[in-house]
Structure 1
């Protein structure tokens, strides 16, 4: 997907969460470790929720911000994810899955953090701050929830 505006950036982020949710769900059926299956199912549901929330955030965003061009995005390194989902999570254990998912969310928050400082209009800055806050909050929630699962 070509990211030209903040609206495109939000769509791209939503699609990343959607793809990750499908991949995690698919891999849950193929992972042999019971704790890893439970984790993958939980993470898939969480990513579906993130897809929805990011979409809702876009629907309520200021059109001026959504139509603002994102010049600096092209300079940011792309977010690494298993875009083809040939079952990479099916072969990972609980801790490795956590590391991969936390890394994914760290990359998204780094992107937003980087762009917040470069936003040229207040509406775009507010939108990016909302996205950053959402991603950070959800990443912290994932850390807490997976920590609880690890205690089981």
Structure 2
């Protein structure tokens, strides 16, 4: 079991969103299919947006909340999140969407664990808000993917 503060978890989540943005950007550079390239560009911008949201979220929270400790704080790792995903140069739009939704599920699972293990109602609320944000972002990603499919 790892001990971390709320700030540590938010910082690392923010960094993961940044890494995912770079990952989508790099994958998009190798794409020949226009629709897949558009989807990857959207996902890149989407992840940058989430990175900025977490940055602002952290600035808006009190230091007392950010300094709260957790006895349950899983190690977040982009490699783990991508372990079950077959990534190749000419991925289809469907494969990219499945990958993006799986990565969203990774954050949803993380925040669900943080909500369950929170001792303080204030800290629980922080992670509940992040959980709800990720669930909404997953819906938005799926909706955008469907719109691109219809083009």
> Which consecutive aligned stretches of 4+ in structure 1 deviate over 2 angstroms post-superposition?
76-83, 88-91
Residue 115 (structure 1) shift: 1.6
**Structure 2 residue 10 is matched with structure 1 residue 10:** yes
C-alpha distance in 2 between matches for 1:48 and 1:22: 9
Aligned to 2:122: 123
The number of equivalent residue pairs is: 146
Per-residue CA shift, 1:70-91, capped at 9, x if unaligned? 21124x78563459xxxx4633
Aligned to 1:41: 41
Give the superposed CA RMSD. Answer: 2.1
Query: Which SS does the other structure have where 2:30 is aligned?
Result: coil
Aligned to 1:109: 108
**Structure 2 residue 141 is matched with structure 1 residue 142:** yes
Residue 3 (structure 1) shift: 6.8
TM-score after normalising by structure 2: 0.87
C-alpha distance in 2 between matches for 1:147 and 1:20: 21
TM-score after normalising by structure 1: 0.87
**Structure 2 residue 132 is matched with structure 1 residue 133:** yes
Residue 40 (structure 1) shift: 0.4
C-alpha distance in 1 between matches for 2:3 and 2:88: 27
Aligned to 1:52: 52
For structure 1, which runs of at least 5 residues remain unmatched after alignment? none
Change (3 A) 1:140 1:111: same
Change (3 A) 1:109 1:103: same
C-alpha distance in 1 between matches for 2:8 and 2:134: 17
